[in-house]
Structure 1
Amino acid sequence: MIWILVILAVFIGFSLRFNWWRKSESFYHARVLMYHSIAEHKGEKFDKWRVKPEDFEKQISWLGKNGFASYTISELCDLKELPQKSVCITFDDGYADNFTNAYPILKKHGFKATIYLVPNQETNHWEQKNTKYISRMLSGNEILKMGDIVEFGSHTMSHLNLERASLGEVKDELIKSKQAVENITKKECKAFAYPYGKYNDDIVRLTKNAGYKNATIVKRGVFKAGDDKFEIKRIGVLGTEGFFDFWLKFHKVRNKL
C-alpha cells in the first residue's frame, strides 16, 4: 500500500512539474523560439538567459532530425500559408556569443535566425543590476559575417522599457535604432522586438509608422496564420531548464503550471 502511495505522489509531482498532459499545438502553427545568450553558465540567477552551447546544439539538432524548416521572422511573416513544421529562431540583444557559439551550430544544421540588435553597444550594461558578468555584444564585422543566414532586427538604441518612456522618446528609439541597424547591415531592417516585452497600442502604432514590418513580444504562444504581425508570440528557451522542458514547450507551449 505504501508503495502505491509513493508512486501516486511521484506521478502527481511529475505531472505538476511537467505538463505532459497538456494538449499539443498543431504543427501547422509556427514556433518562434526566443533565446538570448548562448554561453556557459556563471553560477548565478542570470544563467536562465544563458543556454549552454551543447544544449543549444542538442535542440537545433533535434529540430533538424525531426524535419522542421527554419525561417527568419520576416520570411515567416511573408508566407501566404504557414507550412507544417515551421520554426523561427530569434535572439534578443545581440550577444557576441551568438556569433562565436550559436552561428557555427546554426550553419552546421542548416538553420536560419533573427537577431534583434541594440546597435552600437559594446556591452549589455543595462543588465548590470542582474549579473556580475557583463557580456560583449556583436561587433559590426561579426554582424556582417552572419548575414548569410541571419536577419537583423532592432531592439531599440538603449534597451529602453518603452512603456516608461514618452511617446517622443519611443519614436526616437524606434527610428534611430532602425537606421543604425541598416547602417551596419546595409539591408532594410524590417523586424523589431519590444524590450522586456513591454508595449501598448501607441507603441505598436509608432512601430508601424517607423517602417517596421513585424514585431515580437515575450508572451507565450505559437504563430498562426492571420495573427497580428506586430504582436508575434514566442516560446522562451531558458538555460536553467532541461531538454524535456524544451520538448514540452515546443509541443505544448508551456512546460509547467
Structure 2
Amino acid sequence: MKVKCRFLLFYRNYLLKIGLKKALLKNRYGERILLFHGVDKVGNTSLSSRFFSEEYFERFIEYIALHYNIVSVGDYYAKNFKENTLNIAITFDDGYLNNYEYVIPILKKYKVPASFYITTIHEQASFLWTDFLDLVSLKTKVKQIFFEGNTYEKNKKSEFVNKGMSLKKKMKTISYEKIKSVYKLFNEDWNVIKSSSLKEYWQLMNFRQIKSISENSLFTIGSHAQTHANLLAISIEEAKGEIIESKNKLENILGIPIEEFAFPFGYYSDELANYCLEIGYKRVLLVDYNKNEANKNEVFKNRFVMNPYISFELQLICLLKGSYF
C-alpha cells in the first residue's frame, strides 16, 4: 500500500478514536460500484488478500441495506438513485465457489442484488492461475525455480522474485499458454493443496451453480474473459477471442444474453473496450479509468475495490468518501 494511502488511513482511524465517528459516518449522496472477489469462513488474508470473512460480509450487507440504497448494476447505469444517500451496486469478480456457498445466501437474506463476473476457464482448469501461484508460493518448500530464462528465488513474503520482479507480476505480462508452464513446476505442491481444506481459496463454481444464480432475479451474470490473462499482454486477436468466447460460452449454457463485462485486473485499452460494445456488451466494468475521456462514456464504469485489511468503520468512511486516499 502506498505511503500516502497508509498515512491517510491512519489519520482517519485516529479521527475515529478521538470521537469524530458520527461526523465521518454521516450518510451523504454518492454513487459507488463495489468490487468484491470472495468470502471465506474466517477471513484468512494470509491465504487470500482479497477475501472477507462470512461474518464481516454479512455485517457489511446488513449495514448498507439498512442505511444506503442498493441497486443492481443495470439500475446503477440507468441512474435509478435516491437523493441524500449513498447509492451502491455490488459486483463479484472471478466466479469462486465461495460466492455460491457464502455470498448468495446472505444476499438472498437481505434481498440485495449483485452481479457476478465469471472467468470461463472450466474446460482448461478448475482454478485461476493467480490463486494457484499464491497458494503454491505460500505452501511450497521449493526455494528457487527457473522460468522463462530467469531464476526466481522465494523471499520472506513467500514471493518468487527475480531482480525485483515477482513471478506473479511477470505472469501478468504473458499469455495463458505460457502461464500454464508454471503449473508443472509446482505439480506436487498443487496436488497436496487440492486434497487439503483450502478449496474455498481456489475452487470455482461449475456451470450448474452459475445457471442457478442466473435464474434468480436478484442476480446478474457477466463475463470476466476466458483465462484471467492480462488482456493487454497478449495479441489483440487473442484478447478479443477471450472476450467474445467467454460471452458465447455463458450465453450458450445459461440461455440468456450476457450484457456485462469486467476486465481482468481492470486492465483495458480503448480498442478492447470499444470491441466489447461492438459484440453486444452494454455495461463494461473497470477498476480505474485510464484517462478522463473514459469517465465521460456512460458505458464504462469505475469500481471501488473493497479492502479486507482495514476496520469495518474505516471501510465505511472510505466508501462514503469514494477513496482510500
Length-normalised TM-score, structure 1 = 0.82
Partner secondary structure for residue 30 of structure 1: strand
What's 1:202 paired with?
Answer: 271
Shift of 1:175: 0.8
**Cα separation, 1, equivalents of 2:213 and 2:109:** 13
Q: Which amino acid aligns with 2:135?
A: T
What's 1:75 paired with?
Answer: 75
1:107/1:94 CA distance change after superposition, 3 Å: same
Partner secondary structure for residue 47 of structure 1: coil
Partner secondary structure for residue 160 of structure 1: coil
Shift of 1:238: 2.4
Partner secondary structure for residue 297 of structure 2: coil
1:116–1:193 CA contact under 8 A, matched in 2: yes
Which entry has the higher C-alpha Rg, 1 or 2? 2
What's 1:223 paired with?
Answer: none
2:253 to 163, 172, 184: 184
Shift of 1:188: 0.8
1:144 to 194, 211, 215: 211
Shift of 1:210: 1.9
* 2:131 is aligned with 1:130: no
2:244 to 175, 198, 207: 175
Shift of 1:254: 2.2
**Cα separation, 2, equivalents of 1:41 and 1:219:** 29
After TM superposition, list the pairs within 5 Å mapping 1:91-110 onto structure 2.
91-110=92-111
Partner secondary structure for residue 261 of structure 2: strand
**Cα separation, 2, equivalents of 1:171 and 1:213:** 16
1:42/1:70 CA distance change after superposition, 3 Å: closer
What's 1:212 paired with?
Answer: 281
Partner secondary structure for residue 163 of structure 1: coil
Shift of 1:204: 1.1
Q: Which amino acid aligns with 1:169?
A: E
Structure 2 residue runs without a partner (length 5+): 1-7, 137-197, 290-294
* 2:224 is aligned with 1:155: yes
Q: What RMSD, in angstroms, separates the aligned Cα atoms of the two structures?
A: 2.9
Shift of 1:51: 0.8
Shift of 1:44: 5.2
Shift of 1:47: 2.7
What's 2:159 paired with?
Answer: none
1:32–1:90 CA contact under 8 A, matched in 2: yes
Structure 1 residue runs without a partner (length 5+): 1-11, 221-225
Segment of structure 1 superposing worse, 233-242 or 40-49: 40-49
Shift of 1:69: 2.7
Structure with more contact order per residue of length (Cα contacts < 8 Å, sep ≥ 6): 1
1:229/1:185 CA distance change after superposition, 3 Å: farther
Partner deviation per Cα, 1:188-230 (whole Å, 9 max, x = no partner): 100011101111111112111121111111129xxxxx85244
2:13–2:314 CA contact under 8 A, matched in 1: no
2:50–2:307 CA contact under 8 A, matched in 1: yes
What's 1:241 paired with?
Answer: 310
Shift of 1:97: 0.7
Segment of structure 1 superposing worse, 128-137 or 110-119: 128-137
Report the identity percentage: 23
Partner deviation per Cα, 1:134-169 (whole Å, 9 max, x = no partner): 511111221122221210100101112011111111
Between Structure 1 and Structure 2, how many residues are aligned?
239
Q: Which amino acid aligns with 2:204?
A: M
